[in-house]
């Protein structure tokens, strides 16, 4: 039987072999074993760097960021838009501020599919997050937990393994030196920006397979609209603060 | 027809033992008066170990063990306990016949649903035994036959008298099990009849003449030779049960057993009515005293989706009980189904499928709100208004498309979602440059060299955008919004209010972050 197989495969071309023995051929340059299912992040450069080509389903992903307002929602927005438009719900566990739904809708998300849980103590937050991962009701789960132990991340990761959901954990950048059980850890930095575009520097601290090399620069979908009067002349900000600016857009409801 | 009879030989003891928290059951005996003297009718294990025996006079039992807890035989309470057990059995079949010390269930139509006779018999046994009764069971093709067999079985065993075996099994039973033979037992024994087979060999006419027509009739019914009409147990139209506890229970843990029993009774009652519960409440009664004025603690549970699953209800109850502070020891429990709805039993799937997403979301919400509080799980609804503070409203999360009728429409700000086209909603009314995060309340920014500072001096990137609205209600505002950046890389949405400058300095506020 084995002879037969080797004879027939000898006459196959390389792409044929690849399609036939998919998942069983390992290339030296590949990022390890292709993980379970993935969801494309919507950013081509990022997808290339992520094992399997997207956010991994059934795994915990850590996003480390020094402070809010860097574009962290923009980074996830395409995935979240896809999930909510497919009719799945998204859970936010104790977000740091009030999510502003008109802006989330601008990014393509369906605000009716977003569930917010407010919990006061860290233990309650962790519990709510665990329940969310367990419940199989959500397409994606985003949790903001500042002081979370390694054991807790391990527990979350084990729970996530049996769930068909994307789990994201937002942690302060100072946690990058703490050990964590999440198989994917990403550090976010604000990058140099010019007046009208916003770039996020993404560094993969940890991933399955080969360690990632350089940082990736992503241009985020959320940019101040070019239709607005653009930046004030640089170098003389104080002056421009004093002079009254013309009201460009008067909104009447 | 196929019948399962559950006989509870120690019923007069069980009804009282089940009211104790399990670790606190004392050595106990039930007495019955005969003439002037009280005799021990039943004694539990702890009492029997101390030498208390059945049919002993009470005086000698007390002489042996003075701390014996003595309870008088109370047929009313026994019947009540049996009725409660019957509620639990209603989950398996609606046809239940009550007996003095047990119940008989007709199960031929439930066999398939519960996976065959063996499975059904086990689950039925377990459900009724979970109500705190010790049972022996038997299955047979006739009600009376099953009942006679169950009485002859030893504790926690099942006699399977189905098929051809029922005749031979019945033949071997002793005559003193027959209800109609009780008055004539001595005579029957005297003429050499020990088993039912012996009785059946005697001529029918003589038997009826000597011992009354009931005896041959009962035999015929047991063997299936005569019809045996039954009176079914009818559950009441409303569910309200109260259980007095025999001890003052302080902790929640000890209450859970009783809570679970009552919940299962309710679920059985619901199953018999093909209904599901939407709201139910537990009342924990406390002993009345002047030091402790609170007479009861109410635990009310509202479900977002009706349910009749005891396991799910118990999860909710447990979490709620853990969170509730109970003011005083509990002496009685009361359960009431406040609101029930016609239940739909979903069709069983050919292949096991995951729970629907809507169900698991509802369960998730119920679980969280029962532990963390009523208003923890929320959603945000968009309102068309230009003022950021008024353009969304927090509301209890509810599944879109399921129920649009309840408690969203609060005040005149609510917009009807149905009127707005689904897809373009929101996008058509809002502007592209809005931040993903909004501060709870606008934060006043410090000024350095007349420049706003947040972490570091802010640089304005775009603006101003004037938002002026709200003249029609009390919250009128006129603000110039700018997008600014600090050295940390945060993008901020800040504003100033024109015309409110103090000493020629504008006052700046932080409204949100571009996340």
B chain contacts of residue A201, beta-carbon cutoff 8 Å? none
Rounded Cα distance between A32 and A30, Å, is 6
Smallest Cβ–Cβ distance between B451 and the set A69, A198, A238 belongs to: A238
Quickly state the pLDDT bin for B239 (edges 50, 70, 90).
very high
The overall average pLDDT reported for chain B is: 84
Interface of B with A in 354-383 (CB under 8 A): 354-355, 357-358, 360-361, 363-365, 367-368, 371-372, 376-382
Q: Is B471 on the interface with A (CB under 8 A)?
A: no
Q: Which residues have CB under 8 Å from B207's CB, separation 6+?
A: B199, B215, B216
Cβ separation A224–B465 shorter than 8 A:
no
**pLDDT of B471-513, one tens digit each?**
888 878 888 998 888 888 888 899 988 877 667 777 889 999 8
Find out whether B316 and B363 touch, Cβ atoms under 8 Å.
no
Q: Which two tokens stand for residue B78?
A: 């026994």
Cβ separation B436–A99 shorter than 8 A:
yes
Best residue in A72, A78, A253 to probe B by mutation, most B CBs within 10 Å?
A: A253
Rounded Cα distance between B243 and A2, Å, is 73
Cβ separation B437–A195 shorter than 8 A:
no
Cβ separation A131–B367 shorter than 8 A:
yes
Rounded Cα distance between B368 and A138, Å, is 15
Q: Is A88 on the interface with B (CB under 8 A)?
A: yes
A chain contacts of residue B392, beta-carbon cutoff 8 Å? 100-102, 111
In B296-430, DSSP assigns E strands to 296-307, 330-342, 377-382, 392-396
* pLDDT value of position B25: 85
> Is B371 exposed, middle or buried, given 0-12, 13-18 or 19+ CB atoms closer than 10 A?
buried
* pLDDT value of position A192: 62
Segment B304-324 shows an average pLDDT of 86
Distance from CA of B96 to the nearest CA of A (A): 38
Inter-chain CB pairs, A–B, below 8 Å: 223
**pLDDT of B334-357, one tens digit each?**
999 998 888 766 666 555 445 577
* pLDDT value of position B427: 43
Q: Which helix (H) or strand (E) holds B467?
A: strand B459-469
ipTM of the complex: 0.76
Find out whether A104 and A73 touch, Cβ atoms under 8 Å.
yes
Smallest Cβ–Cβ distance between B354 and the set A97, A136, A250 belongs to: A136
Segment B51-59 shows an average pLDDT of 89
Residue B206 has pLDDT above 70, yes or no: yes
Cβ separation B427–A106 shorter than 8 A:
yes
Q: Which residues have CB under 8 Å from B308's CB, separation 6+?
A: B267, B270, B271, B275, B276, B277, B343
* pLDDT value of position A221: 63
Cβ separation B357–A89 shorter than 8 A:
yes
Q: Is A67 on the interface with B (CB under 8 A)?
A: yes
Distance from CA of A194 to the nearest CA of B (A): 9
Q: Is B459 on the interface with A (CB under 8 A)?
A: yes
Smallest Cβ–Cβ distance between B382 and the set A102, A230, A234 belongs to: A102
B chain contacts of residue A244, beta-carbon cutoff 8 Å? 498
Segment B209-220 shows an average pLDDT of 91
Residue B410 has pLDDT above 80, yes or no: no
Cβ separation A112–B460 shorter than 8 A:
no
* pLDDT value of position A45: 86
CA dihedral sign, ordered B142, B145, B150, B153: negative
**pLDDT of B124-153, one tens digit each?**
999 999 998 999 999 999 999 999 999 999
* Placement of tokens 């909510």 in the chain: A84
Q: Chain B: residue nearest A231 by CA?
A: B461
Segment B50-73 shows an average pLDDT of 90
Buried b (16+ CB within 10 A) or exposed e, B250-281: eebebbbebbbbbbbbbbbbbbbbebbbbebe
Q: What is the pTM of this model?
A: 0.64
DSSP B236-271: -SS-EEEEEEEEEE-SSHHHHHHHHHHHHHHHHHHH
* pLDDT value of position B422: 39
Find out whether A241 and B463 touch, Cβ atoms under 8 Å.
no
Distance from CA of B402 to the nearest CA of A (A): 12
Quickly state the pLDDT bin for B104 (edges 50, 70, 90).
very high
Best residue in A83, A100, A111, A251 to probe B by mutation, most B CBs within 10 Å?
A: A100
Rounded Cα distance between B285 and B248, Å, is 10
* pLDDT value of position B415: 36
Buried b (16+ CB within 10 A) or exposed e, B444-460: ebeeeeebbebeebbbb
Rounded Cα distance between A128 and B365, Å, is 10
B chain contacts of residue A81, beta-carbon cutoff 8 Å? none
Distance from CA of B384 to the nearest CA of A (A): 8
* pLDDT value of position A24: 74
The larger pLDDT score, comparing residue B95 to residue B342, is at B95
Cβ separation A198–B491 shorter than 8 A:
yes
Rounded Cα distance between B265 and B258, Å, is 11
Q: Radius of gyration over alpha carbons of chain A, in Å?
A: 22
* pLDDT value of position A194: 56
Smallest Cβ–Cβ distance between A67 and the set B382, B461, B488 belongs to: B488
Q: Chain A: residue nearest B437 by CA?
A: A99
DSSP B14-27: HHHHTTS-GGG---
Cβ separation B400–A72 shorter than 8 A:
no
Q: Which residues have CB under 8 Å from B178's CB, separation 6+?
A: B148, B196, B215, B218, B219
Q: Is B476 on the interface with A (CB under 8 A)?
A: no
Q: Which two tokens stand for residue B436?
A: 């993903």
Quote the distance between the C-alpha of residue B274 and its chain's center: 15
Interface of A with B in 127-146 (CB under 8 A): 127-128, 131-132, 135-138
* pLDDT value of position A197: 66
* pLDDT value of position B428: 42
Q: Is A125 on the interface with B (CB under 8 A)?
A: no
Cβ separation A100–B435 shorter than 8 A:
yes
Rounded Cα distance between B11 and B16, Å, is 9
Distance from CA of A163 to the nearest CA of B (A): 11
Buried b (16+ CB within 10 A) or exposed e, A111-141: bbbbbbbbbeeeebbbbbbbbbbbbbbbbbb
B chain contacts of residue A191, beta-carbon cutoff 8 Å? 489
* pLDDT value of position B147: 93
**pLDDT < 70 positions in chain A:** 1-10, 26-36, 192-197, 221-253
Selection from B448, B450, B435 nearest residue B491 by Cα: B435
Selection from B229, B126, B168, B112 nearest residue B160 by Cα: B168
Find out whether A52 and A177 touch, Cβ atoms under 8 Å.
no
Q: With pLDDT > 70 as the criterion, what percentage of chain B qualifies?
A: 90
Q: Which two tokens stand for residue B464?
A: 């101003």
B chain contacts of residue A230, beta-carbon cutoff 8 Å? 461-462
């Amino acid at each position: 039987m084995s002879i037969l197989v080797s004879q027939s495969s000898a006459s196959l071309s390389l792409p044929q072999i690849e399609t036939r023995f998919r998942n069983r051929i390992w290339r030296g340059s590949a990022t390890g074993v292709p993980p379970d299912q993935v969801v494309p992040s919507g950013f081509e450069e990022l997808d290339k760097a992520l094992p399997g080509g997207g956010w991994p389903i059934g795994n915990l992903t850590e996003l480390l960021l020094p402070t809010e307002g860097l574009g962290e929602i923009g980074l996830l927005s395409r995935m979240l838009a896809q999930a909510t438009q497919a009719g799945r719900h998204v859970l936010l566990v104790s977000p740091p501020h009030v999510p502003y739904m008109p802006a989330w809708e601008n990014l393509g998300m369906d605000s009716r599919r977003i569930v917010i849980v407010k919990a006061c103590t860290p233990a309650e937050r962790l519990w709510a997050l665990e329940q969310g991962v367990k419940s199989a009701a959500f397409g994606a789960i985003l949790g903001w937990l500042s002081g979370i132990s390694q054991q807790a991340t391990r527990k979350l990761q084990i729970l996530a393994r049996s769930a068909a959901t994307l789990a994201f954990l937002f942690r302060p950048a100072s946690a990058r030196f703490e050990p964590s059980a999440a198989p994917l850890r990403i550090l976010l930095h604000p990058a140099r920006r010019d007046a009208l575009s916003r770039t996020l520097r993404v560094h993969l601290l940890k991933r399955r397979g080969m360690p990632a090399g350089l940082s990736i620069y992503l241009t985020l979908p959320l940019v101040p609209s070019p239709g607005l009067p653009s930046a004030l002349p640089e170098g003389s900000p104080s002056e421009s603060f004093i002079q009254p600016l013309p009201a460009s857009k008067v909104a009447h409801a | 027809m196929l019948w399962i009879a559950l006989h509870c030989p120690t019923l007069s003891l069980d009804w009282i033992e089940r009211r104790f928290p399990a670790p606190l059951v004392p050595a106990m005996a039930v007495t019955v008066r005969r003439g002037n003297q009280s005799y021990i009718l039943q004694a539990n294990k702890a009492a029997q170990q101390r030498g208390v025996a059945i049919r002993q006079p009470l005086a000698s039992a007390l002489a042996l063990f003075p701390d014996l807890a003595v309870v008088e035989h109370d047929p009313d309470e026994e019947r009540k306990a049996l009725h409660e057990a019957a509620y639990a059995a209603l989950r398996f079949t609606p046809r239940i016949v009550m007996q003095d010390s047990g119940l008989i269930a007709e199960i031929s139509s439930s066999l398939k649903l519960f996976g065959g006779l063996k499975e059904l018999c086990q689950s039925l046994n377990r459900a009724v035994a979970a109500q705190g009764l010790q049972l022996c069971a038997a299955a047979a093709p006739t009600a009376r036959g099953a009942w006679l067999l169950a009485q002859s079985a030893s504790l926690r065993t099942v006699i399977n008298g189905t098929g051809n075996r029922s005749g031979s099994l019945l033949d071997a039973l002793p005559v003193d099990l027959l209800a109609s033979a009780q008055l004539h037992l001595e005579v029957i024994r005297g003429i050499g009849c020990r088993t039912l087979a012996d009785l059946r060999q005697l001529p029918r006419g003589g038997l009826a003449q000597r011992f009354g027509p009931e005896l041959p009739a009962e035999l015929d019914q047991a063997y299936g030779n005569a019809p045996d009409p039954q009176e079914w147990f009818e559950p009441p139209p409303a569910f309200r049960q109260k259980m007095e506890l025999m001890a003052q229970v302080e902790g929640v843990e000890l209450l859970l057993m009783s809570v679970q029993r009552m919940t299962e009774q309710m679920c059985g009652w619901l199953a018999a009515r093909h209904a599901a519960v939407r709201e139910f409440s537990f009342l924990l009664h406390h002993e009345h005293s002047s030091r402790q004025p609170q007479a009861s603690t109410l635990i009310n549970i509202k479900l977002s989706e009706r349910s009749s699953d005891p396991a799910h209800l118990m999860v909710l109850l447990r979490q709620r009980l853990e969170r509730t502070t109970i003011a005083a020891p509990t002496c009685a429990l009361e359960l009431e189904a406040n609101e029930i709805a016609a239940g739909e039993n979903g069709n069983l799937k050919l292949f096991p499928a995951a729970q629907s997403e809507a169900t698991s979301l509802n369960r998730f919400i119920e679980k969280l709100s029962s532990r963390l509080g009523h208003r923890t799980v929320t959603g945000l609804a968009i309102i068309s208004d230009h003022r950021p503070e008024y353009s969304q409203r927090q509301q209890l999360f509810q599944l879109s498309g399921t129920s649009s009728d309840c408690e969203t429409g609060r005040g005149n700000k609510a917009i009807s979602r149905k009127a707005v086209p689904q897809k373009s909603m929101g996008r058509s009314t809002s502007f592209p440059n809005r931040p993903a995060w909004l501060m709870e309340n606008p934060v006043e920014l410090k000024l350095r060299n007349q420049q706003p500072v947040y972490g570091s001096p802010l640089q304005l990137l775009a603006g101003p955008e004037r938002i002026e609205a709200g003249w029609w209600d009390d919250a009128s505002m006129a603000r110039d919004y700018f997008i600014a950046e600090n050295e940390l890389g945060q993008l901020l949405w800040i504003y100033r209010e024109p015309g409110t400058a103090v000493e020629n300095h504008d006052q700046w506020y932080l409204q949100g972050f571009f996340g």
